[in-house]
Structure 1
Amino acid sequence: MARLLYITVNPKKDIEKSKGRQIGEVFLQSFREAQPDVEIVNWDLYSMDLPVMDEDLLYARAKLSFMGYKMEDLSENERSQITKMWALADEFITFDYYVFVTPIWNLGSPAILKAFLDCLFVAGKTFTYTKEGALGLLTDKKALHIQTRGGIYSSGRMEALEFGDRVLTATLGFLGMDVQETVYAEGLDHFPKEIPQIMAAAKEKAAEAARAMAKLPVNS
């Protein structure tokens, strides 16, 4: 059975208040229709206890990576942080499909997404080092980003200032994933009277993306 990890990055708990999650629900419904047996798991990053790149985690990674330390040599806090990080990465890589639903805030994604992505950079699990440089190991995974934007970032002067979708898709690609074309709804703050049309178009694109993604083979 294929597994899909649905990652929501928004403090709004009410789906009616989150346009991104409304689009995401259309994606999930269409994916289920195309793949009825898929197992879907939701990670709400704002409800998770995520390790952050603090001093303990930085030292723990360094000590275990190239300083010759063993787990028992670490401090209690270092062990706690690195254990949570590894556990998160281990669970993450058990999935086949990944859907991220995020807003763009102040040119980028919410900070909690960066904290989450930091936890995925685990040598030997999600990437490895080669003579040619780092190489992603998640080559059998498929990923998609659904993003809501208050402004217009697909063209014009703001295009070069969009660091949310750009960072996320680059990160997933670095880890080896097959990243699909982003589904976005933009201009939601600039054109409030056009929100129904903007949302309808984004939901249609999400449904199309779900049907296409469900056809992509994975190694389940």
Structure 2
Amino acid sequence: MSNLVRIDASALSQGSHSKALADLFEQTWRAKHPQGQVQHHDLSRLNLPHIDEAFIQAMYTAEQDRDIQQHQLLEQSTHFVNELKSADCLLISTPMYNFGIPSHLKTYIDMVTRVGETFRYGENGPEGLLKITQTVVIAASGGDYTQPPMDAMNFVTPYLKTVLGFNGIDSPHFIEAAGMAMGEEKQQQSLEQAKQTIQSILNQHDE
């Protein structure tokens, strides 16, 4: 049985281009995996707490030495980590907010990037532990930050590529729906290209 973990980061409940494209991906994935399971988290609705000193101390305390409070502090984090460990496919959809990712996506990443769980330190430095077969990131932006010189202002793609790789996900597919606020023609062209890329990624994976 295949498992899809879907993470949405847009704060919009309606009219989100990144969520709409993620809907298309999920629908197509479900059609190809009728027995598959989907864990879906809309981060803007979860009100995740930012990590604090107590969380960090709990995270770096050996599991057998953690007290009840520390186990409770890590409970949601551990749930998210276990989802990722069992995932065959990871789907992240996010808008660009002020050139970066939304704060609740950063919080989620902070909660799941855990030494001994999603990465470890070895003789040659950090080693990612997540072995997810397929990872897709759908990123939407009002402007077009995919080409020079504007790409220098894009901190969504390089950050996510870096942190995913740090956790063991080395070859994520990035689908960038750029120019959502640059007029209807640009918007439709970008969305159509994104939809075609989604279909191509899923078809290639099944070959």
Distance 2:75 2:130 in 1: 21
SS at match of 2:116: coil
Q: Does 1:136 align with 2:134?
A: no
Partner amino acid for 1:71? Answer: R
Alignment partner, residue 137 of structure 2: 145
Q: Does 1:187 align with 2:179?
A: yes
Distance 2:83 2:30 in 1: 22
Alignment partner, residue 85 of structure 2: 93
Alignment partner, residue 42 of structure 1: 40
SS at match of 1:138: coil
Contact 1:127 / 1:175 at 8 angstroms: preserved in 2?
yes
Alignment partner, residue 25 of structure 2: 27
Report the CA distance shift for 1:117/1:27 in structure 2 as closer, same or farther (over 3 A).
same
Structure 2, gaps ≥5 residues long: none
Residue 31 of structure 1, CA deviation? 2.0
Distance 2:27 2:76 in 1: 32
SS at match of 1:119: helix
Distance 2:129 2:147 in 1: 33
More relative contact order, 1 or 2 (CA 8 Å, 6+ apart) = 1
| Number of matched pairs | 207
- Worse-matched range after superposition: 105-114 or 194-203: 194-203
SS at match of 1:182: strand
Residue 48 of structure 1, CA deviation? 2.1
| Bigger radius of gyration | 1
Contact 2:5 / 2:83 at 8 angstroms: preserved in 1?
no
Alignment partner, residue 8 of structure 1: 8
Alignment partner, residue 218 of structure 1: none
Q: Please give the TM-score of this superposition, normalised by the length of structure 1.
A: 0.84
Report the CA distance shift for 1:116/1:193 in structure 2 as closer, same or farther (over 3 A).
same
Contact 1:85 / 1:119 at 8 angstroms: preserved in 2?
yes
1:42-90 Cα deviation digits (max 9, x unpaired): 111122253421122123234x15xx99212x7x4x4432333223212
- The within-5 A match list for 1:1-220 is 1-14=1-14, 17-62=15-60, 64=61, 70-72=65-67, 76=69, 78-215=70-207
Residue 127 of structure 1, CA deviation? 1.2
- Worse-matched range after superposition: 83-92 or 166-175: 83-92
Contact 2:84 / 2:130 at 8 angstroms: preserved in 1?
no
Contact 1:109 / 1:164 at 8 angstroms: preserved in 2?
yes
Identity percentage over the alignment? 25
Contact 2:175 / 2:194 at 8 angstroms: preserved in 1?
yes
Contact 1:97 / 1:143 at 8 angstroms: preserved in 2?
yes
Distance 2:200 2:149 in 1: 29
What is the alpha-carbon root mean square deviation over aligned residues?
2.2
Report the CA distance shift for 1:61/1:189 in structure 2 as closer, same or farther (over 3 A).
same
